[in-house]
Amino acid sequence: MFLHVVGHNQRFRVIHSTFRRSIETISRYFQQVLYAIGEIRGKMINPISLNTPPKIENSYRWFPYFRDCIGAIDGTYVTAKVPRSMSATFRGRKHYTCQNVLTVVAHDGYGCRPGILPPSRKTRYHLNEFSAKHQPLNARELFNLRHSSLRITIERAFAALKNRFKVLDQKPFHTFGTQVKLVLVCCILHN
């Protein structure tokens, strides 16, 4: 029942009809499973390895630039339902209320602090800005092209997560506290 709720973003009353259990029973077990999965987070969400991934180490395209790269960090928006009084705080650039979720994915690089290598500013960056006609013109553009092609890994991870768990990408039916826990639990189940 829990996987049906998070996988399809179903309300408890729909689950009630499908599984022939009371809404109270579904709600109680949903909360118990949510709590139980959250408790194993320390075993299921591991710190990334400090070794350079083989994909980078064995590639002439990436190794000169990212030889010490161990992971990619980026954020994504997860739709949120919050009280009207708090909605301004949760309004994102996409003009709906959402949680901004920051995630680190093993292998590939991004960010801006010691030990994290960001792309060059005020320089072409996105893959669609480069083509056979529009090759990189200097070392900074070449670096940004390589950076962007590695960073796509985390974008794919977000897409796979949201595709698997519709509760993260559709209007939620749960309280905000439960919505926050659901993000972590979906990441644990995805791992």
Largest Cα–Cα separation, the chain: 65
Q: What is the mean pLDDT of the chain?
A: 81
Residues whose CB is less than 8 angstroms from the CB of residue 131 and which lie 6 or more positions away in sequence, other chains included: none
Query: Mean per-residue pLDDT for 100-108?
Result: 71
Looking at per-residue pLDDT, the higher value among 72 and 31 belongs to 31
Which residue ranges make up each domain of the chain?
Answer: 47-173
pLDDT > 90? residue 30 = yes
Print the SS3 string covering the chain. Answer: CHHHHHHHCCCHHHHHHHHCCCHHHHHHHHHHHHHHHHHCHHHHCCCCCCCCCHHHHCCCCCHHHHCCCCEEEEEEEEECCCCHHHCCCCECCCCCEEEEEEEEEECCCCCCECCECCCCCCCCCCHHHCCCCCCCCCHHHHHHHHHHHHHHHHHHHHHHHHHHCHHHCCCCCCCHHHHHHHHHHHHHHHC
- Phi and psi (nearest 5°) for 9? 55, 50
The residue behind tokens 């009630």 is 16
Contact (CB, 8 A) for 70 and 48: yes
C-alpha 143 chain-centroid distance:
24
pLDDT band per the 50, 70, 90 thresholds, residue 132:
low
**What pLDDT, on the 0 to 100 scale, is given for residue 126?**
63
Confidence of residue 112 (pLDDT cuts 50, 70, 90): very low
pLDDT at residue 23, rounded to an integer: 92
Tokens 């009207």 correspond to 84
What global pTM score does this model have?
A: 0.71
- Which residue would you say has higher pLDDT here, 147 or 32? 32
Picking from 17-21, 68-72, 98-102, 170-174, which range would have the lowest pLDDT averaged per residue? 68-72
Please tell me the distance from the alpha carbon of residue 32 to that of residue 26, in angstroms, as a whole number.
Answer: 10
- Residue 69, pLDDT > 80, answer no
- pLDDT for 108 equals 39
User: Can you say whether the dihedral through the CA atoms of 81, 86, 88, 89 is positive or negative?
Assistant: negative
Q: How far apart are CA 90 and CA 180, in angstroms?
A: 13
Rounded mean pLDDT, 44-68: 78
